[in-house]
Structure 1
Amino acid sequence: MEYKYKTKMVCSQEISFNINGDVITDIAFRGGCNGNLKALSKVLDGWTVEQIEAKLKGNTCGQRPTSCADQLCLAVREAYEAQKNA
């Protein structure tokens, strides 16, 4: 299932990805630090929701209380719960 998430308080505006069970693939960020987010997307391809959260949840960016990586954690958890409750 393709999922799109509108980010909050970060430079990227949206994160899209596919979720199948708890496996995340095809992550793409719209906006943000292009090179870093493309690399992050490649590294995390095929990871589970739990693996992504374990490594990135709570990561901050500068003075912000969140980051694009932290927003990804929120997005994959939201998608996983939506898929489970569908």
Structure 2
Amino acid sequence: MITYNTEGVCAKQITFSIDDNIVKKVVFHSGCDGNLQGISKLVEGMPVEEVIKRLSGIDCEGKGTSCPDQLAKALKMQLNNKV
């Protein structure tokens, strides 16, 4: 599992795993539990690039980011580290 400490959102941390460029498991720690469980289930099984494409730039209440956007940033960082 990979751990990402979020910035500017209710969820304090995101843990996730990637296997063969597919998002396998996502857990948001804190935040809006039902919504974040839903996001986790929706993105599991998707290619990393597709999750980044769909979730990047989503804003929550003018914060300039959101929990989904933070997941996209975490995945992007992981993708860049593997290149």
Instruction: Give the TM-score range, shorter chain.
Output: over 0.9
> What is the aligned-residue RMSD (CA, Å)?
1.0
Q: CA deviation at 1:72?
A: 0.3
Mapped partners of 2:80, 2:66: distance in 1? 21
Shift of 1:22: 1.8
Write the distance in 2 (CA, Å) between the matches of 1:44 and 1:5.
16
- Which deviates more from structure 2 when the two are superposed, residues 19-28 or residues 61-70? 19-28
In the alignment, is residue 20 of structure 1 matched against residue 19 of structure 2?
yes
Aligned residue for 1:38?
Answer: 37
Post-superposition offset of 1:68: 0.2
For structure 1, which segment, 73-82 or 3-12, has the greater mean C-alpha deviation from structure 2 after superposition? 73-82
Q: Extract unaligned runs of 5+ from structure 1.
A: none
Q: Partner residue of 2:2?
A: 3
Instruction: State whether residues 18 and 26 of structure 1, in contact with CA within 8 Å, keep that contact through their aligned partners in structure 2.
Output: yes
* Alignment-derived partner of residue 66 in structure 2: 67
**Alignment size in residue pairs:** 83
Matched, 1:78 2:77: yes
| 1:27 Cα deviation after fit | 0.2
CA distance in 1, matches of 2:60, 2:50: 20
- Large movers: runs of 4+ above 6 Å: none
- How far did 1:25 drift? 1.2
User: Identity across aligned pairs (percent)?
Assistant: 35
Instruction: Give the Cα–Cα distance (whole angstroms) in 2 for the partners of residues 77 and 21 of structure 1.
Output: 15
Q: Is the partner of 1:12 in helix, strand or coil?
A: coil
